[in-house]
Amino acid sequence: MTLELLEGHPVHRLASRYYDRDLRIQPVRHDPLYASTLLRSPTHPPLAVGETIADLSGPVFGHLKPGPLDNDLIGNFASGGLALGERIIIHGTVQDQNGRPVPETLIEIWQANAGGRYRHVRDGYLAPLDPNFSGCGRCLTDRDGRYTFKTIRPGPYPFKNGGCAWRPSHIHFSVFGATFTQRLVTQAYFEGDPLIPLCPIANTIKDPRALRTLVATLDMSAAIEFDALAYRFDIVLRGRHATFFENRTEGV
Amino acid sequence: MLPETPAQTAGPYVHIGTFPYAAGLTIGWNARLHELVRDKEPGEHIEINGMIYDGGNAPVTDAMIELWQADTNGGFHRSSFPGWGRAVSDFTTGEWTFRTVRPGPVLRRDGSVMAPHIMLAIFARGVNGHLSTLMYFPDDPDANSRDPILSALEPARRVTLVAKRQPNAEIHSYRFDIFLQGDSETVFFNI
Ligand SMILES: [Fe+3]
């Protein structure tokens, strides 16, 4: 191991430290109300650590050319028909905590169909599969950090939690950001859904204001006449401190 | 400063969106995301496999694991090597596998050097925000002892981050089992 090996190593872009994650707005890890956490939550708190490779860099997908239907879940699995259910647009922006848009970042979504059933080998819920719906979509944000998906509103579904536990309608979101430190996997809920306050998973977030940021709001301005309602879901990834050293050479 | 969007569990069907092939889907990613190397990729090719165990010592069979690492020279995005991969814990056994290259040491901005290592992030039902850990190699104890993160840990916890060599005639092979709870709970970082 020599430093010569690393000489002229360009400073990895966006290499400054990120704001510490505010754990008060994050879900608690261990929650007796959500049974699956009991054996799956580490008992040691996560260790604070200095700079890691997650701050220095992260996967980029700018070269990825999503197919024309990758963000159209009504059409991307169509086999002779269109997905059943309430047609919706879900759209918004991805920005960092400093309000800067995050362009060309990969968003992946997955969801149940209108009946609350996932197209997954392990989902055996009573509701039928929709032959025209997979529930899988992806897109890159544009240069202004915007994204949009066309889909159907997923149905609620019950899950094993001891007792009568139901998930509100939700869409799972995975977002990358510029470095791995910004990586986020979360869920978008729907404004006005009475199941949200009852859901053990949504309520692993104890701060009501933080939970509200996961609720997509009805956005009639983006609805498509005689086609689809629209919901808006904006995403904020971790921001970094102001001092950064883009394109300087390390060790010089 | 805007508040960060909070995380939620990836749930048991994470594969639909992130590894559709494993969910039984024919659309979306069709690549074998756990194989980061093709035959001609420069560097020493290695295999890593392991299991994730819950607090009852049961294998986690519905996780998705992401890998992020430097290339063979300790750099990022300097060649065709993606540095990023995904694996799925087998739905029956819980076993997961990556094929990649051994990363080089990484220079931090403060001038310290991180020993060769691989970052892993776990996404699963019951895991409300992904769990991040670092896997180091057993073959280079000197580099490990100088590593700023590993050397700051007490020995009993440090060992949870060091993979074990395992016999394999074809390729250098490492085992890295992850324990979510218990006496040998893996060290997870606030990354
Ligand atoms: Fe779900």
Q: For residue A91, what are the CA distances in angstroms to A232, A234, B9, B65?
A: 5, 8, 21, 27
pLDDT digits (tens, 9 = 90+) for A89-106: 999 999 999 999 999 999
Question: Which amino acid is it at B156?
Answer: A
Q: Which helix (H) or strand (E) holds A209?
A: helix A208-212
User: Which residues form the domain of B80?
Assistant: 6-179
Residue B191 lies in a domain: no
Q: How far apart are CA A2 and CA B146, in angstroms?
A: 13
Please give the tally of structural domains in chain B.
1
Low-confidence ranges of chain A (pLDDT < 50): 1-15, 246-252
Q: Is residue B83 part of a domain?
A: yes
Please check whether residue B71 lies inside any domain of the structure: yes
Which of residues 114 through 173 in chain B touch A, CB cutoff 8 A?
114-115, 117, 119, 121, 123-132, 134, 140, 143, 148-149, 153
Q: Would you say residue B126 lies in a domain?
A: yes
Specify the CATH number for the domain of residue B158: 2.60.130.10
| Residues paired with B50 in a beta bridge | B96
**Environment of ion ligand 1 (residues, CB < 5 A):** B 11
C-alpha Rg value of chain A to the nearest Å: 20
Kind and range of the H or E run holding A55: helix A53-56
Q: Is B94 among the domain residues? A: yes
Nearest CA-CA distance, residue B81 and chain A, Å? 11
Q: Determine the distance separating the centroid of ligand 1 and the alpha carbon of B94, expressed in angstroms.
A: 21
Residue B148, token pair as written in the block? 């700023």
Tell me the pLDDT tens digit for each residue of B98-143: 999 999 999 998 889 999 999 999 999 999 999 999 999 999 999 9
pLDDT 10s per residue in chain B (191 long)? 999 999 999 999 999 999 999 998 988 777 789 999 988 888 999 999 999 999 999 999 999 999 999 999 999 988 889 999 999 999 999 999 999 999 999 999 888 999 999 999 999 999 999 999 999 999 999 999 999 999 999 999 999 999 999 998 899 999 999 999 999 999 999 99
pLDDT of residue A250: 37
Instruction: Calculate the dihedral angle through the C-alpha atoms of B155, B69, A97, A194, rounding to the nearest 10 degrees.
Output: -90
Cα separation values, B11 from A5, A133, B18, Å: 42, 19, 12
* Dihedral of the alpha carbons of A75, A157, A90, B2, in degrees to the nearest 10: -150
| Chain B residues within an 8 Å CB radius of A181 | 191
Cα A60 to the center of its chain, rounded Å: 16
Q: Are strands B113-114 and B106-107 parallel, antiparallel or unpaired?
A: antiparallel
Taking CB atoms and an 8 Å limit, are A40 and B124 in contact across chains? yes
Contact A134, A72 (CB under 8 A): no
Instruction: For residue A184, give the nearest of B7, B16, B66 by CB distance.
Output: B7
Name the minimum distance, in Å, from the CA of A229 to any CA of chain B: 23
**Annotated catalytic, A241?**
no
Among A17, A20, A53, residue whose Cα is nearest residue A241? A17
Residue B66, beta-bridge partner list: B86, B121
**Domains of chain A and CATH, by start:** 2-41+59-236 (2.60.130.10)
> What's the whole-model pTM score?
0.94
- Residue B189 maps to a domain: no
Name beta bridge partners: A235.
A94
**Calpha distance B104→B121 (Å, rounded):** 20
Q: What is the pLDDT of residue A16?
A: 62
CA distances from A16 to A50, A56, A94, A242, B190 (A): 11, 8, 20, 8, 16
Is there a domain that residue B70 lies in?
yes
